[in-house]
Structure formats: C-alpha cells, structure tokens
Structure 1
C-alpha cells in the first residue's frame, strides 16, 4: 500500500527526524539474510521508548497501515520483509540493559540489546546469557522468532529462557506478561504466546530473561568421522547417555571445504563434530573421556580438545560464519537455507535420506546442524535468477519437510516461519490453523502486524 502523507506527518510529529524515507534506509530494511526477494517498507521508524512505539502503532492501526518489526535483520525466512509496504519499526535504538538481578539470575532488557552486547555487559558479574543463534541478533528479535542455536542442547531455546515480556498490542495498548518468578500457574501463558509470534500479534518492547553462572571450565573439541552416520549416531548416543554437552555441531564435508577456505582453517575434509564442554575441571574431564570413548567406537579421529580461549573462539567463529563461507563459494549467489528438527533418534535417518536427494543437484550444498537437539540445515547456494535452481531447491525443501513431519518432527526448529515456510504450517498443524487465526483476529483485527507471515 502507499503510505499517505498525512500518516507520515503524524508519525513525524511523534518521532521528529527518526522517521526515514531515505532510499538507502528503505533498502536496508527490505530483507533479512535469506534467499527470498526484497520487499521494502514505505518508511522506517526509529522509536526510543515504549510510549513512542505505542503511539506509532495506534496511528498505524487506525489507518490500517501494515507494521513490520525490525531487530538486526538476521532472519532467514523473510520474517522482516515488508510484503505489503507500510511502516518498518526498527527497535535497534531501544538498546538499554534495564536491570540485572544477579542473585536471582535474571535480567531485563530493551528489545534492541544484542546478545553480544548483553554478554559484554555481564562480563564482570560472573553470569552470561547462553542462547546463541550465531548471528549477533537482538534479544527482542530472538524472543519474537523463538530463536535457538548452538547452546540449546544444554540451555534450551528462547521459549525456555524468557520469563516475562512487555508487549505493545496493535491498538497501542501496553501489556505485561509473566513475572520474574521461575514458575507460575496464574492464568493463560501469554508470554509463550508472544514468544515465537514473529511480530504478528504485538511488538515486544521489554524482555526479562534467565541468566546462568559462567562455567568454571570451558573446553572445545573437534573430531572427524568416516561417514555422516557415524558422526550423527555418536551424538544420539551421547544425548541418550545423558552426557551434558553444552554444544555439539555437525558439519559435512562440503561445509568443511567452505569453512576452511573462508576462515583459514585446516580441518580434515570429512564429516566433523565440534563439541563444547562446560563445568568443573573434573566434570569437563569426565565429559571429554566419555566422548572420546564414543568417538573411538565410531571410527572417529582422536578428539582434539582444548581449554585455550583463542582456539575455542576461532573454532566457533568459523562455525558462526558458515553462512558467509557458503556465500563465498559462489559470488553473487544466495543461500537457500532450510531448517528441520526431528526427534533425536530419527536424525541419522533423515540426514541420510536428504543427502541421497542432494547427489543430483548442480549447485553447492552443505549439511550443518545443532544435532544435539535434532536440528539441522541445508545450505543450498543458488542463483535466485536461475528459475530451475530455485525450483529444485524448493522441491528438495518440500521433500525434507514431508519426511520431517512423517518422523514426528517440525518444519522449523529455529528459523521461524516468516513467509518462506507458511505453506508448511497447514501440513504440520492442520486443524489448529483455524484456532491460530482466531487468536490473530482477536488481537490484531485489522491485520496490520507483520501481515503475510506465519499463518497461510
């Protein structure tokens, strides 16, 4: 839709020069990191308070203007693309750490605080926030997409780590959900409703999250394997044995080629597992010993472990940069990234079947994942302008999700739905879509909040 001049004037009266129609700003806010095409908003607003967010939403709701929330723009499923124009609300300037309650292991932050910013702020407290989706995403965006990541196998995803929220509804009404208490049986669980709603029900302006004590010892480990099945089966056994791994990441041969080239590493080109162990000295030593035994039983190379912080950071930086390593394998291409999550016992099977699909593709593809919780990704490096490549990637994605659901899994473990996965919602939820639409219409009757996302 075309944003009327009087609406821009009313927004400018609230925000002053913190509303922009500059083409470069508009373009910057037209897409995330994924493969889907740009969809620009008509204007970008930069509020600095909940009161301003409330005023902006009230104006947009009265005029029926679409609103798209923006954190850091690192989403992969078109979650931030402005499919119907309207206003993008960029929350990056609401970036204050409001409170840290060290005794209670929690903190309250504005939505624009990034995970790296928060952990830097916490450095002298002996605490940290563990949810790590890879990108330096905002806490508000991570809550909105129910983010997960490399530490989820031990610490859980955002759903498990958000205690309370402040949310502005489309009408401009401000509500608070949850509390700092670690459990509650008081009423509907509205916190869980908004966590993962991707800005389709309201806009998060404050997040209260759990914190954790920094481990006494942190060690990393790397081992390569003869086959993908060996590596993935080891992880399944480790989880079933209750070994408290902090992180365990799988990278196939293709991913190792890309990571070696991009991050200047010399890892053996073979299916590989990256590990991280947290705990006391005795606990970490015990975890390393148990994993070393499993590695040997599956024909893996000797587990190379280290507590050196530089070595550990180099390893995980390479893992976090894998998306850009894939892009570097084919200049001017995009990564068509997928996201599937199955029960841990089914992980080896679905990766095996998926890799059989990949034997015939003409483009570079990697398999990578947070395999400790059954979550993995394909990174298909395609030219979006070549229709046959895009169609083939879509076909592979469809078959992956069909298998995932047949095995009792979900179409998204952490990417969210955006509009890239909306077709899978009916596959997965069938009779529940109507109930979801009932909630959406009740809270957002004018359908202004991130329209076209999540629900088909």
Structure 2
C-alpha cells in the first residue's frame, strides 16, 4: 500500500460564528442560574487535554435533564449557533473546543444511574455518569462495566469517542457495549435508538451511527449499556523483558494463541521510570507487560501457565503478582495515570498524543520503529500500549512555546500514522478524530467514504451547529 499523507495543520482553523444577544437573552430567561457567561467558566469549557489553544465558547448551559438539552439546542438552532456537548473535559484530540464559537452544553449534572437490570446484564444511565461512579453503583449486583479509558471519563463522552481502554482486548470497546440511546438532534427533537434486547435487525443501526460521532450528529441524554459478571477469579501480574521487541513479540504470540487475556498493557523503560516516580512504585525499569486474567480458578490458572510459557520463550523474567484487590488497584491506577506521569516528568509541557492501532501481526513493525524515531528526535516522550488489541500511544512532551518542538512532534506523529496505515491499521484506535486527526481521515477511509460521512452530517445537521469543525470540514 502506497500512502501519501498531506501535512496536518499545526493549529486548528478558528472561524467563529456570531452569537446574537437575543439568543443569550432567550437562554437566560429559560435557564436562569443554569446559564453562565463568566470568563472562568467559559475557559474551563474551552479546553481539554489536547495541545490546542482556542477561544472559549460564548456561554455555558448546565443541563439537568433531556428537556434542558432539547430546549438549549432548539434555541441555538433558531439562530444557527453552534452547540458543543461537554462531559468530563478529558478528551485529547480537541473534541470540545469551540472553533466556531457558540454554546457549550455541560451534561455533568445529568449524572444519575436510572435503571439497573441485573437479570438482563444491562444498565441505563444519564450521560454525565462517570465510569467509576457507574461501577460503584452496580458493584452490589455482582456486575461491572469494563470499558476503562485512562481518565474518569463520562459515559456520554466515552460513547461520543467510541472509547475503549485496558479491558478492550477481552470485552470490546464502546461500540460493542452500547445497546440503546436517547439523542437530541440538531433540531432539538429527542429520539430513541436501539433496545435492551441483545440483538436487533430493525432498520438502520442508528445506535452505532451515534457511537463515535463525537457530538457532530446529536447530543446523548440517556445510554443503555451491557454489564458483565464480576469474574470468579482475577490474577494480575507484571513481567519484564530485556528489550521492547521481546515484550511486543510475546504479546503477539499470546493473542495468536487465543489466550482470553483480560488486560495486556505495554510500557517501555522510559515510561516505567515516569510511572514509578509519579505513583511511588518500584517496577523494574525495563520493557514491561502488565497483565490481568479473568475467569474460573481453573480457567485463570490455565491462562497463566500458557502466558508464562510464552513469556519465557522471549526472555520474560519471573512474574511479579499483585495478590490482593488493593495491590491490583494500585497497579492499574498507576497505568491509567501514565499520561499524567509523563506530564509531571516535564513541568509546563503540553502533550501531542498518538493513537495508532494495527493488526496484531504487524504490531512490532509499527511500534518498534516509531519508538526508535522518537528516541532519535530528542523529544521527551512516553509510550503505552493496549497491545493485546494492537493499539499503542506515543505522547510527545513538548514545550508549548517552541514551534520547533511542536513541528518535530507533529512530524513524528505523521510518520507513525503513515506507517500504521501502510500496515493495514488506523490513525486512531480509541481517541477519535476531533481536530487533530482530520488530516489523516481521508487517507484512511477514502474520498467516497468521507463524502458519505459529509452527506450524513448535512442531512442530520443542515445548519452545521452540532460540534462543527470536528472529524472533517464541510
């Protein structure tokens, strides 16, 4: 495959659309204290974990119900003013930035678990519920929700970006785990997609269309998810390798052997050092696999024995086990905080993140060369990978005041994506396109596919008010 990517813009295009005073007055009358024009509140809703700096939205509406969302969108639609949904603010690709101005609709107060149907293994929640709060709410039922992006993200945001995390190798991503949605459309109408049934062949799959649409097709107000029984036995361990190549090749073999491993995470030596400092751990500072096994005691033991044998073939050292739930929590919390460990290692830095995913057989080809290029560049970085499903991240830690460092980091990202696409992979395994990856979407999907996406967007949002400027330009 011959891939020729055009260079990405280093800064997002900002073309604000005016917000008429009449709209602000109408919002004030409808929402009262739920509307904020305060600069500090607007700025809070105008930044995420990306490296972009964009003017904040013109106003923030704190929605407390689906009716609030519907009314806010209806008012904005009258004036053709953009609306941007806001959850936890933890996205990394500029998803929530107000590049065309407009109104931020914060759904954080819509944080209720509405119904737990333990007998059907489903739960219905509002979009502002976070993943940790959800698992706290359902733990007494003996069930859990496995999707766990690093941040304590909102369920609505996780749906919008089609998030995954460390458990995806066994339990899938949000794509596989969302059953039904309530959605406010660009006209302010509230529609319902999907059911609590395990499957359906009724018409177009609008649920899948909305999951991953990044707020550009509708604003989610209610979400029904799959739950899973807590595993009878859980074992977690770390295993060190002399080289990154050996750790990656061991992972490939584990997956190709069909081991139903629940988690298989990779950190290189540089990142382990950062994690140790940030989380006060003493992990061996070499290439490291963090693994977890779920199932019956006999099933888990069989998985462990198989993985230990594979690791030994590639020089894996003795497994270090996290024996208690507290030890496991500490280990996985440290892994989830690897991003912040990287940021802490260079105070004042900004992170330019990558998010490539490739077929498992090509993981070594994609990952190892990308790490070598980054090391040769001199740019500080961290590297983590959900390597069990071929997904890995480089985080380039740049001085935000250095155009040279930003340009170098963007070039490294460009080369990494070029490599992933040439190997049959994708420019984003879980973060989404947002602003940062728009330049790669056309090369990955082709002219016809992007034209179809634009046609869907135009049909559902003719005035382009739903999170405009994201995924592609109209």
TM over 0.5: yes
1:317 aligns with 2:333: yes
Describe how 1:41-440 pairs up with structure 2 within 5 A.
41-430=57-446, 431-440=448-457
1:4 Cα shift? 2.1
Unpaired segments of 5 or more residues in structure 2?
A: 1-16
Distance 1:298 1:308 in 2: 28
Point out 4+ residue stretches in structure 1 off by more than 3 angstroms: none
1:267 Cα shift? 1.0
TM-score calculated relative to the size of structure 2: 0.95
1:282 Cα shift? 1.3
Distance 2:265 2:435 in 1: 27
Distance 1:53 1:284 in 2: 46
| Structure 1 partner of 2:466 | 449
Distance 1:2 1:386 in 2: 32
User: Would you say the 8 A contact 1:33–1:74 is kept in 2?
Assistant: yes
How big is the alpha-carbon RMSD for the aligned residues of Structure 1 and Structure 2?
Answer: 0.9
User: Would you say the 8 A contact 1:295–1:303 is kept in 2?
Assistant: no
Q: Secondary structure at the match of 1:134?
A: coil
1:63 Cα shift? 0.3
Please list the CA deviations of residues 349-374 of structure 1 after superposition, one character each: whole Å capped at 9, or x if unmatched. 11121122113222211221100000
Please list the CA deviations of residues 27-64 of structure 1 after superposition, one character each: whole Å capped at 9, or x if unmatched. 11111112222431000101111111111101111101
Distance 1:290 1:303 in 2: 13
User: Would you say the 8 A contact 1:295–1:302 is kept in 2?
Assistant: no
Aligned residues: 456
User: Would you say the 8 A contact 1:217–1:307 is kept in 2?
Assistant: no
User: Would you say the 8 A contact 1:2–1:42 is kept in 2?
Assistant: no
Please list the CA deviations of residues 234-276 of structure 1 after superposition, one character each: whole Å capped at 9, or x if unmatched. 1111111111111110000110110011111111111100001
Q: Secondary structure at the match of 2:235?
A: strand
1:300 Cα shift? 1.1
TM-score calculated relative to the size of structure 1: 0.99
Distance 1:158 1:53 in 2: 23
Distance 1:37 1:282 in 2: 52
1:442 Cα shift? 0.3
User: Would you say the 8 A contact 1:218–1:307 is kept in 2?
Assistant: no
1:85 Cα shift? 1.1
Q: Secondary structure at the match of 2:383?
A: strand
Distance 2:66 2:353 in 1: 34
Distance 2:429 2:51 in 1: 18
1:34 aligns with 2:50: yes
Distance 2:461 2:18 in 1: 21
User: Would you say the 8 A contact 2:379–2:409 is kept in 1?
Assistant: no
Distance 1:306 1:384 in 2: 38
User: Would you say the 8 A contact 2:235–2:292 is kept in 1?
Assistant: yes
| Structure 1 partner of 2:11 | none
Q: Which range is displaced more, 423-432 or 159-168?
A: 423-432
1:295 Cα shift? 1.3
| Structure 1 partner of 2:10 | none
User: Would you say the 8 A contact 2:18–2:81 is kept in 1?
Assistant: no
Please list the CA deviations of residues 153-182 of structure 1 after superposition, one character each: whole Å capped at 9, or x if unmatched. 000000000000000001011111111111
1:307 Cα shift? 3.1
User: Would you say the 8 A contact 2:20–2:79 is kept in 1?
Assistant: no
1:404 Cα shift? 0.7
1:8 to 2, 24, 28: 24
Please list the CA deviations of residues 189-235 of structure 1 after superposition, one character each: whole Å capped at 9, or x if unmatched. 00000000000011010100000000111111001101111111111
Q: Secondary structure at the match of 2:376?
A: coil
